[in-house]
Chain A
Amino acid sequence: MQLPTVLMAVAAASARDPGGRKRKCGPGTGVRRCPLSAAQQPPAPAMDCYTANWNPLGDSAFYRKYELYSMDWSLKEELRDCLVAAAPYGGPIALLRNPWRKEKAASVRPVLEIYSASGMPLASLLWKSGPVVSLGWSAEEELLCVQEDGVVLVYGLHGDFRRHFSMGNEVLQNRVLDARIFHTEFGSGVAILTGAHRFTLSANVGDLKLRRMPEVPGLQTAPSCWTTLCQDRVAHILLAVGPDLYLLDHAACSAVTPPGLAPGVSSFLQMAVSFTYRHLALFTDTGYIWMGTASLKEKLCEFNCNIRAPPKQMVWCSRPRSKEKAVVVAWERRLMVVGDAPESIQFVLDEDSYLVPELDGVRIFSRSTHEFLHEVPVASEEIFKIASMAPGALLLEAQKEYEKESQKADEYLREIQELGQLTQAVQQCIEAAGHEHQPDMQKSLLRAASFGKCFLDRFPPDSFVRMCQDLRVLNAVRDYHIGIPLTYSQYKQLTIQVLLDRLVLRRLYPLAIQICEYLRLPEVQGVSRILAHWACYKVQQKDVSDEDVARAINQKLGDTPGVSYSDIAARAYGCGRTELAIKLLEYEPRSGEQVPLLLKMKRSKLALSKAIESGDTDLVFTVLLHLKNELNRGDFFMTLRNQPMALSLYRQFCKHQELETLKDLYNQDDNHQELGSFHIRASYAAQERIEGRVTALQTAVDAFYKAKNEFAAKATEDQMRLLRLQRRLEDELGGQFLDLSLHDTVTTLILGGHNKRAEQLARDFRIPDKRLWWLKLTALADLEDWEELEKFSKSKKSPIGYLPFVEICMKQHNKYEAKKYASRVGPEQKVKALLLVGDVAQAADVAIERRNEAELSLVLSHCTGATDGATADKIQRARAQAQKK
């Protein structure tokens, strides 16, 4: 087999890649790459061998450490003199030289500095507040600075002060001894150890709820070490006092013992929880390391390093879903990787270094370098392990041979295919590419995958395509200038949305947009959102004029869907740039969106017209009530006057809630017609005495005259007269007259037998004859006063004819009376009248006589079967005769 060739070829590949493109990614200088003891040296012969930096731990795992960046952040201070905080997921690094530890230099104000992971300065500010105990980054990449007095100051990535909160009175009184910032699924939490050796914590600083943990019985001194655990979505505290361990939850304090702990431990010097809170490691004063589950129910392994000095840092180094568990322990000059193996891997530290636990490894940075230490992923191990016969390894080799135009390519391929492992080989190559940091190595792995794909019939392309895309994104953000050294696993955990947010947070808008466009993310989630963020940042640039900012924003954003100009304007207003905000609002296509901000900026009149434009009456109303409180009454009315829609809305409201205002409105407009109506309505609404109603009506009359509506004025005057009269009638006759119509009043009088008065009333109010006749007729029939009715019918010639008499009598079922009047009905209506009284035969005669076709059919339709048979025949005959003629 050509195994050495494989190895050499790989080595050549890495040799061809001296990191020329990436200035800062050359070979490291700070940490000696070679492991310390010869015994643990990998068997690889050459330094430039690809697996040269692979260190085996036990039989099954390799750990490798490679350089991410060489740092030129020209630190003034030693790291050990500073408070250090580095955010996970390739996040920023904050440094605050800690002058409070040494008592002497208190007069010098320290500087808080924030760098990207590649050492690019992001912010630098003089610390003017109180002494800081601890620094930490929240999940949103906000810097939390815990002061000695329990106040936590929150800064943005660029050193902009955001807010502050206090951890409570107890903390204030007893001072902060130590503090930790930790991450849970709810967000980021702060845990504090006070001078009284009590713990206070908040599991989410976004929604601050302080929890004071129970007391540890008999605790006199500070615990030797402690940490926060997160189990079942609840944060606990684990602390070590002498040889004892205590677990604090919010209810109780319980002593715990790790299973299988070696005897002879008199104190715990360091403890570490894994990134996912699943595992716990304990370092004892005997130089013994216990590793187990965080629930303290199970031991994974133990190791004795025989170093009794307390380590500076201890962190877990494991990858998700890997069986291998290891912790990295750092002392002043020594770094040790310890796992379930009799031997450990050791490195020498040339400089002060700081460990940052990550999801799948540990970042280590110092003054000059920034490295990443992790377990070599399975796919990489399979492919690159010396003497590997894994399909991926063969495929990679086959592709190399193919490029060299060697027939060996075919041999390798055949070998894989014979075993039926080509799919697996391609998958391995793709996966391994994801875990490579160097683009060239990524490329050759992907090339191999692509080569192998050609020999497969149905290999779904998306895993390959997605990996290519992901790697492009990763390489872009890993760039020195960007400085987010995410690994593939971290990136997948973080998701692209969060990565975009982080880029936006770093004000790297162009890159974020390019990524969105490259990944073809939907505009609303992608480009638009980023542009909106950019615009919100842009409005804060105070040195640029309002016009320029507005124009620049509009040029870039245009009509991009999903961009809310009003949000941007709100931001501008927040920065005190009202004029700019108004300019920006003009670009907002949805006028409704403009209104709330305009109101806030006290541009109520503009808000009103925008609200009206939006067609949303509710919004208009909101503005109206705002205006009403803001302006004096006169101005308010004037504003309304120019906005008919708003006016009608407000009127509606007033009609129900503020009648007086309604009157004022009409008054101001000289709308006498409506004013008249208003008073009339008032006269009905008021349940008061008659005088009040008459007064209201009188006002209405005046208004109607002013409105030149004489009809209404007259009618109202009549109504006043009628009201007074009805009142008098009630007084004199008793009974209910008020509020009857004129017609009903007269009817009531007749029904009550007051004929004289009825006639008087009819004369007074000039009731037309026709109405009077109808009225009397109906009333008398109702009374069944047939005698009086007959007298009335003969009083003069009826202006409504006599057919109504017949009708009304029939309605009262008085056929006898009806017949009397039927005879007096004029010839035009005679037939109808006769039919009404049921005299079909005579009706037929009249109709025949009148030779009226319509009447004939009418009669015919009234002929019912047997009784009127003769009549029907008669009509038919008459018809036939008429037709003959």
Chain B
Amino acid sequence: MAFPHRPDAPELPDFSMLKRLARDQLIYLLEQQHEVDKLYKVENKPALSSSEQLCFLVRPRIKNMRYIASLVNADKLAGRARKYKVIFSPQKFYACEMVLEEEGIYGDVSCDEWAFSLLPLDVDLLSMELPEFFRDYFLEGDQRWINTVAQALHLLSTLYGPFPNCYGIGRCAKMSHELWRKLEEEEDGEAKGRRPEIGHIFLLDRDMDFVTALCSQVVYEGLVDDTFRIKCGSVDFGPEVTSSDRSLKLLLNAEDKVFNEIRNEHFSNVFGFLSQKARNLQAQYDRRRGMDIKQMKNFVSQELKGLKQEHRLLSLHIGACESIMKKKTKQDFQELIKTEHALLEGFNIRESTSYIEEHIDRQVSPIESLRLMCLLSITENGLIPKDYRSLKTQYLQSYGPEHLLTFSNLRRAGLLTEQAPGDTLTAVESKVSKLVTDKAAGKITDAFSSLAKRSNFRAISKKLNLIPRVDGEYDLKVPRDMAYVFSGAYVPLSCRVIEQVLERRSWQGLDEVVRLLNCSELAFAGLTKEDKASSESLRLILVVFLGGCTFSEISALRFLGREKGYRFIFLTTAITNSARLMEAMSEVKA
């Protein structure tokens, strides 16, 4: 069932190096430098430890600084003298030091940095574990993480050689790319002679494709993420999955043989696969019968452990599937998926709108309702004013008035907007630009485009053929294209763009798409002569998602890789899904 890679598929680079690097750095920092003996999670509560020295390993956030300050000041009030060390990861921000100073504890703490930015979650997946990237950049316009991204790319290129081909789309992608280039130039010399291991790098901003991220995931790994939330590559299965009284933490990666075979499968195939697997397993157990002593000895010493392990994993995944089924059928998942597909294809808009309305009225889930509204807005290029008002009103009535702020956020990020009446904005824009200088006009255009960020989804969808023509049933067991990750209804936009660019090795012929994506100035490609790159490395592609990527996208690209003999490696600021996106935009009462 699982698709094997083509025999000529290139080997993946070895990411264990990154893991070792990070581990050694951390151990050095904690043990050698600061002699840490116990670790606690930083939570908003008083520290329990009674030791003489406290060491905080934190993200450079102002909130964390205030927490530390409160701790230190509490100690001071209690007349306790301790040593405090703050280790910032991946870097220290001046603002944090400022806060420490303003809180009057700058002299009491000493600061250090742990430049850790790349966590290998799997053989082909690196995460920067910066979920805040999305809100910081796409909502608040805070560019602080761009430097971190550039540093991470720089680290990759020093470890795995330069990237001969480079493509990107989006403002953040462009800035990161420029900054990264600058870093490379500054440190020229050593990397020059290296043979590239990875032939292509593709940077893209999350905001060029919100649609894919907003869809319900139906590939197993995505579904597990949507249902149980995968954190740092591991998932907590509760009692309802483990069918025992305690929950269990399970690492989800290629090491898990069972998971590795079903992770990219459409959910409808998973059960069949698992039962087949169970039968095989039983058969293997059954071989015991009729073994002589020697064979039995062999079996016990060599195979039994593996079988038992597999058995355990199998029962866990079956439990997970059951649990997913239970949850999904409760809210009539089919209905939901149908509505999503209708939105993607752009028919029965009225019906979908009332479905959403009902969803809100029934208070099904604030995040889900919000997600559907956003999906409607983006696919329809904004809501018509009447719906915009009524849906929002309904939402506020259902889920509380504080979401007025959420809506303001969503509007700013372009996720939930009102259809602009006609093309008045563009008219004003062109008029204004005639009056003022070019540079100013650029600024004004920027301002306007942020106001009227149109998603143009329908047009893009047509241009890129995102909705496959269905003649007859889409066979999810033998997928034809990347659309299988959404039950054959929709090819993820981000993945399609990557496919197209890789095919052309440039943005040529995609001008219209780029324009529709509002990225006219922001699509770039840098190609170098490929004489040094081996043909194998040219089939390795690093895709960098700025603002997060979903497991569905990963599955889709893995599929594309298998079809075309490529292999994709993913670098993301964090793994995301629709719920995480919506939560990042939500304002919750303090």
Contacts and interface: CB of A to CB of B under 8 A. Distances in A.
A774 interface: yes
A718 B395 CA distance: 13
B175 interface: yes
A330 to B, nearest CB: 53
B394 A768 contact: yes
B147 A741 contact: no
A81 B358 CA distance: 108
B405 to A, nearest CB: 5
A257 interface: no
B240 to A, nearest CB: 19
B112 to A, nearest CB: 16
A173 interface: no
A771 B405 contact: no
Contacts of A767: 397
B590 A685 contact: yes
A631 B179 CA distance: 30
B589 interface: yes
A653 B396 CA distance: 29
A711 B405 CA distance: 12
Contacts of A775: 361
B436 to A, nearest CB: 15
A715 B147 contact: no
Contacts of A774: 358, 361-362
A778 B63 CA distance: 40
A716 B357 CA distance: 21
A497 interface: no
Interface stretch (A64-72, A196-204, A513-521, A614-622): A614-622
Interface residues of B, dominant DSSP: helix
Contacts of B102: 657
A741 B397 contact: yes
Contacts of A677: 404-405, 408
A722 B402 CA distance: 13
Contacts of B62: 653, 656-657
Contacts of B589: 684, 739
B99 interface: yes
A771 B394 contact: yes
Contact of A616 (B142, B147, B178, B361): B147
Nearest to B137: A648
A681 B587 contact: yes
A656 B404 contact: no
A617 B147 contact: yes
Contact of A778 (B98, B142, B362): B362
Contact of A617 (B92, B142, B389): B142
Interface string A158-181: 000000000000000000000000
Instruction: Tell which of B94, B142, B394 has the most Cβ of chain A within 10 Å.
Output: B94
Contacts of B175: 615
Nearest to A648: B141
A596 B91 CA distance: 19
Contact of B142 (A590, A652, A722): A652
Contacts of A684: 402, 589-590
A719 interface: yes
B19 interface: no
B21 interface: no
A645 B143 contact: yes
B66 interface: yes
B590 A771 contact: no
Contact of A618 (B94, B140, B188): B94
A743 interface: yes
B404 A680 contact: yes
Contact of A715 (B95, B182, B357, B404): B404
Interface residues of A, dominant DSSP: helix
Interface string A96-132: 0000000000000000000000000000000000000
Instruction: Tell which of B143, B146, B398, B401 has the most Cβ of chain A within 10 Å.
Output: B401
A531 B146 CA distance: 34
Interface string A737-774: 00111111000000000000000000001011011001
A561 interface: yes
A651 interface: yes
Interface in A568-627: 590, 615-618, 621-622, 625
Contact of A615 (B98, B179, B401): B179
B300 to A, nearest CB: 40
A743 B363 contact: yes
A304 interface: no
Interface in B384-422: 389, 392-394, 396-402, 404-405, 408
Contacts of B150: 615
B532 interface: no
Instruction: Tell which of A744, A771, A800 has the most Cβ of chain B within 10 Å.
Output: A771
A581 to B, nearest CB: 22
Contact of A770 (B95, B188, B361): B361
Interface residues of A, number: 46
Nearest to B398: A743
B188 A561 contact: yes
Contacts of B401: 715-716, 718-719, 722, 741-742
A342 interface: no
Nearest to A686: B590
A457 B404 CA distance: 89
Given A685-B590, A742-B397, A590 B405 contact: no
Given A616-B147, A657-B102, A712 B186 contact: no
A767 B397 CA distance: 8
Contacts of B389: 711
Contact of B405 (A651, A680, A765): A680
B168 to A, nearest CB: 15
A574 B91 CA distance: 31
A644 interface: yes
B141 A743 contact: no
Nearest to B334: A858
A688 to B, nearest CB: 13
Contacts of B398: 741-743, 771
Given A684-B590, A685-B590, A617 B143 contact: yes
Nearest to A747: B363
B140 A741 contact: no
A438 interface: no
Nearest to A561: B188
Interface string B174-201: 0100110010001011000000000000
A139 interface: no
Nearest to A522: B189
Interface in B333-386: 357-358, 361-363
Interface in B89-107: 91-95, 98-99, 102
Contacts of B587: 681
A719 B400 CA distance: 9
A621 B142 CA distance: 11
B375 to A, nearest CB: 21
Contacts of B147: 615-618
Given A617-B143, A656-B63, A741-B398, A715 B590 contact: no
B140 A648 contact: yes
Nearest to B589: A684
Interface in B55-107: 62-63, 66, 91-95, 98-99, 102
Contacts of B179: 615
Interface string A632-671: 0000000000001100110111001100000000000000
Given A656-B62, A657-B62, A716 B404 contact: yes
- Interface pairs A-B: 9 shortest CB-CB: A648-B141, A617-B144, A656-B62, A741-B400, A719-B401, A742-B397, A771-B361, A615-B179, A743-B398
12 contacts: A561-B189, A615-B147, A615-B182, A618-B94, A618-B147, A649-B142, A649-B144, A680-B405, A684-B590, A739-B400, A742-B398, A771-B394
Given A615-B182, A657-B98, 16 more contacts: A615-B178, A615-B179, A617-B142, A618-B144, A649-B143, A653-B62, A656-B62, A711-B392, A712-B408, A719-B401, A722-B401, A740-B400, A741-B399, A742-B401, A767-B397, A774-B361
